[in-house]
Structure formats: C-alpha cells, structure tokens
Amino acid sequence: MVLELYLDLLSQPCRAIYIFAKKNNIPFQMHTVELRKGEHLSDAFAQVNPMKKVPAMKDGGFTLCESVAILLYLAHKYKVPDHWYPQDLQARARVDEYLAWQHTTLRRSCLRTLWHKVMFPVFLGEQIRPEMLAATLADLDVNVQVLEDQFLQDKDFLVGPHISLADVVAITELMHPVGGGCPVFEGRPRLAAWYRRVEAAVGKDLFLEAHEVILKVRDCPPADPVIKQKLMPRVLTMIQ
C-alpha cells in the first residue's frame, strides 16, 4: 500500500508537503490536481476530499487533509530526523507556535498578495482596486516583520539552529508573493540570509523544482469563462 499525495505545486501548503516528503525520501504516489483547471471541484476528487481542497493524503484506508496535520503525520510515521519536529518539549512548542500563528497571519497575507497582484487581474481578468492592493501589501509587510522579529530573531532558523517544519511552511508561504513579483527579501538581510540557509538545507534542486510553477505564475493564460465561473465563489471565500 503506497502513500498517495494529492497536490498542486501552485499551492503553498502543497509545496511544503512535497518538499518535506522528497527531502526525507518518503515514498509516495503523486496525484496532481490542477487547481487552475478546477480539477479539485470534480466529483472524482470529492471522493478523496469532500472539502474539495488540496493538499489531501491517502494512506491505505486513511484519508487526511490540512497541511500541518499531513506534515506531522508523515514526520511521525516515517521517523524523520528529530530536528524537523524536535522531541524536546520547548523546541517542539516553538514549532507548534509558528505553525499555529501562520494560519491566520502570514498564510493569509501571502495568499491575498498573490491573488490581488496577479491571479485576479491576470488569470481571472478581474481588476483589483489600488487601495485594496495597497492594504494587502501593507499587511504583508507587517506579517513579514513579525516573522523576522518574533520568530527568526537572530537564530539561523525559525526555532533554533536547525531547519524544522516551521521553516518549510514559512518559506513556501513567502514564495507566493515572490512569485507574484514582490521583493519580499529586499532590505531584509536577516530574512534573506535565512532564505539561503533554508534553500541550502532543503537542497537547491528540490527547492527550484517545487517552486517552478509559482515562479512562472505571472505567465499563466487567462481562465476559460466556464472555469472562472466555477472558481470564483471558492476563491472569494479563500481570500476573505
């Protein structure tokens, strides 16, 4: 029985899982679910995940959604090196703290930035008011500042001297606005140095492979009207 992962590397949580599984040589069968074609809304995919969201995981008869849950499941089941999710009580709490914080802050900010800057105008053909985009970018700046000041501080990685799940989740989030053309690391030397350390720890080839789709996102063709109609309500809910 093989582990099955349903992913689209356009999505930040999917990239985190992909990188983590590959880096740790966890064997899995990759099922690409093309979000821009609306494949996640198909009846076939609803059988896997009734929530119609990626990432989703199937391990034999066990189905799991939510990237943090999947990452922790994989870390536990495949007994990956301790630094990813340390046994030490306080170090582990730091990972948990970051994973909880990012859900309503950095993740939301990075997602909204990409959609307001690129996906709405380029993919869906919907213009975003300049004030809304400005507010979104200001919010991103605030959250990136918190990431740097409260989590990274002067450490090599977010929770200590080694890479953990927190770093993989954070870097894949930040690559969303990077793909959208925002100079996220400019003028932030500490963050830029952290980025280079994470990229090196993950492996440059794997890092680039995982981010190829998002780095080319500005080149994507406009959505077909039927697809657009199907995607629109979901997108509006997702970014609110």
Q: Which of residues 46-65 bind other proteins (CB under 8 A)?
A: 50-51, 62, 64-65
On whether 42 is known to bind a ligand per the annotation, the reply is no
- Does residue 26 belong to the site contacting other proteins (CB under 8 A)? no
Tokens for 78, please give them: 């495949």
Say if residue 161 is preceded by a cis peptide, omega within 30 of 0.
Answer: no
**Degrees, nearest 5: CA angle 41-140-165:** 70
- Does residue 66 belong to the site contacting other proteins (CB under 8 A)? yes
Q: Which of 30, 69, 132, 215 binds other proteins (CB under 8 A)?
A: 69
Return d(Cα 239, Cα 103) in angstroms, integer.
12
Which CB, 69 or 232, lies closer to other proteins? 69
- The residue among 84, 46, 63 whose CA lies nearest residue 5 is 63
The binding track of 135-164 with respect to other proteins, each residue x by CB under 8 A or -, is: -----------x--xx--------------
Select the span of 89-97, 160-168, 169-177, 214-222 touching other proteins (CB under 8 A): 89-97
- Does residue 72 belong to the site contacting other proteins (CB under 8 A)? yes
Q: Considering the complex, what minimum distance in angstroms separates the CB of residue 90 from other proteins?
A: 6
Return d(Cα 16, Cα 22) in angstroms, integer.
10
DSSP 128-195: --HHHHHHHHHHHHHHHHHIIIIIITTSSSSSSSS--HHHHHHHHHHHHHHHTT--TTTT-HHHHHHH
- Does residue 97 belong to the site contacting other proteins (CB under 8 A)? yes
The answer to whether 232 and 119 have CB atoms below 8 angstroms apart is no
Q: Considering the complex, what minimum distance in angstroms separates the CB of residue 208 from other proteins?
A: 27
On whether 40 is known to bind a ligand per the annotation, the reply is yes
On whether 66 is known to bind a ligand per the annotation, the reply is yes
The answer to whether 202 and 175 have CB atoms below 8 angstroms apart is no
Return d(Cα 206, Cα 148) in angstroms, integer.
24
- Does residue 78 belong to the site contacting other proteins (CB under 8 A)? no
The footprint of other proteins (CB under 8 A) covers: 50-51, 62, 64-70, 72-73, 76-77, 89-90, 92-94, 96-97, 99-101, 103-104, 146, 149-150, 240
Q: Which residues are annotated as a binding site?
A: 40, 53-54, 66-67
Q: Which residues are annotated as a binding site for glutathione?
A: 40, 53-54, 66-67
